[in-house]
Amino acid sequence: MESKSKGGKQVVDLVLNGGTAITVDPERRVIRDAGIAVQGENILFVGKSTEVSERYTGKKTLDCTDKVMIPGLVNAHIHFSHHMSKSLIPDTLGPAVQSQFTHYKASPKLTAENEVWGSKALLIEMLKGGTTTFLEAGSYHPVEMLEGGIEQIGIKGFMGRRASDRESLGHSALMESTDDILKHQERLLKDFSDRKNIRPCVTIVGMQRYTDRLVIEAKKMADRYGVLFTLHESAWHDTVTECRKRNGCRPIEYLEKLGVLDENVALVHMLFVNQKEVDMLAKSGSKVVHCPSAGVKLGYPFVFGRFPEMLEAGIPVALGSDSSDCSNYHDMIRVLNLAAILYKGLRFDPEIMGAERAIEMATINGAKTLGLENEIGSLEAGKKADIAIFQTNRFDWRPMFNEVQALVHSATGDSCETVIIDGKLVVDKQRVLTVDENEILAKLRSMEQDMVSRTGISIASPWKFM
């Protein structure tokens, strides 16, 4: 029910006043001296601060002078299970070798406790950088994690269970039978779909490490439960060659033949995709997640990537930070900076991408990829009040003439000061309000030596650690 104050203004839960709002709304308004009214979990109004002051009185008001407000960022590809091996894995391994190293030496040694506390740390890292929604690609201990309090943090997202039932190119780590995988996946969906913040979806490893039956049945399960289905695909040329040998066509063509491509499918990496496959993806409504920070570090040949063409074809390419031992960070501002500049150099074309495109990828495209474009991804009346607020009275942001450029090319997530999710303050003055950060950090640090002892991985560096 609407409540009116004496002055005839509507009383709302929260008013943000001042600063610049990069709305990513259909008109792509960048509103200076902006105002946002929030009622309950939703945005009620976005406009000039004078308009908001005339119409609304906030039970709580945040002065956003010198701030930049953006829609909460969407990180569409992370891995909970790799967080405890951040900086443990050598940084000189190519993509396939790195994956082998991680999955044979580090991942099998992970305990549920490692994964629960590692994921809490990952979620906090993301949240403090302005990410409010994520898509996780498959954990080893999803039940323990969903029961282990990760929801309390307040960040929203989808997670799954790691699943592979086929050896590909010598990679057979952590394989299971198709029946076991499907049984566990369905259990997860049945037991945790009613969660508010972090809900299960269907995840398989992908990259040819699946049988036809697994990929078909997993997709059917995602349809039955009305959830997302995500998998890695076409990251390396070898997997394309293997698919051609085995199935007589390229991976995306094969998924199309199997009837797997669809609107609820998010395919990750997708570097070796030809134009015919781009057209197929666009027609099917499938989504693509581009992970530039992980790929560049691992030496993926991005020169073959067709992300500009995918965007041109109408595919809402989203961004992901990938795992903590691939990109090693989850600051989405750094990721969207790379997305903005990478293809300028690769194609000798400064106009091919840019700051605006990158912000779209990390907001509204991420929302579309997760099937949430009516709820998140822009600052608009009716959408959830998921807002990241950045401090610009800093040397990295100033001088500032164009807030969009400053955010993408000059800032990092470290300047994110306040995060609001579903209308509630979750980060204030760079501190997470929902959980005890110090406790999580201390627990994380207490597990470091144990990770080294159990995995037996020693530092690989030409330098002498003393």
Interacting residues with Zn ion (CB under 5 A): 137, 322
Q: How far is the CB of 160 from Zn ion (least distance, A)?
A: 12
Q: Using CA atoms, how far apart are residues 122 and 118, in angstroms rounded to an integer?
A: 6
* Residue 281 contacts residue 317 (beta carbons within 8 Å): no
Q: Which is nearer to Zn ion, 182 or 204 (CB)?
A: 204
3-class secondary structure, 333: helix
259/299 with CB nearer Zn ion: 299
d(CA 201, CA 247): 28
Pairing of strands 424-428, 431-432: antiparallel
Q: How far is the CB of 323 from Zn ion (least distance, A)?
A: 6
Do the beta carbons of residue 100 and residue 171 sit within 8 Å?
Answer: yes
**What minimum distance in Å lies between the beta carbon of 206 and Zn ion?**
9
Nearer to Zn ion, 77 or 306 (CB): 77
Q: In the bound complex, what is the minimum distance in angstroms from residue 82's beta carbon to Zn ion?
A: 8
Distance of CA 422 to the CA centre of its chain: 18
The residue among 251 and 354 lying less far from Zn ion, judged by its C-beta, is: 251
Which residues contact residue 11 at a Cβ distance below 8 angstroms, ignoring those fewer than 6 apart? 3, 4, 5, 56, 57, 58, 59
Q: Rounded distance, CA 266 to CA 151, Å?
A: 23
Report the nearest approach of Zn ion to the CB of residue 83 (Å): 12
Which two tokens mark 383?
Answer: 């959408």
Q: Which is nearer to Zn ion, 322 or 422 (CB)?
A: 322
CA 420/CA 128 separation, integer angstroms: 11
> Nearest approach, Cβ of 268 to Zn ion (angstroms)?
6
* DSSP label at residue 457: P
Least distance in angstroms from the C-beta of 305 to Zn ion:
16
Read off the tokens for 302: 């991005």
Measured from the CB atom, is 39 or 328 closer to Zn ion? 328
DSSP state of 353: S
Q: Judged by CB, which is closer to Zn ion: 125, or 322?
A: 322
Name the strand (E) or helix (H) holding 189: helix 178-192
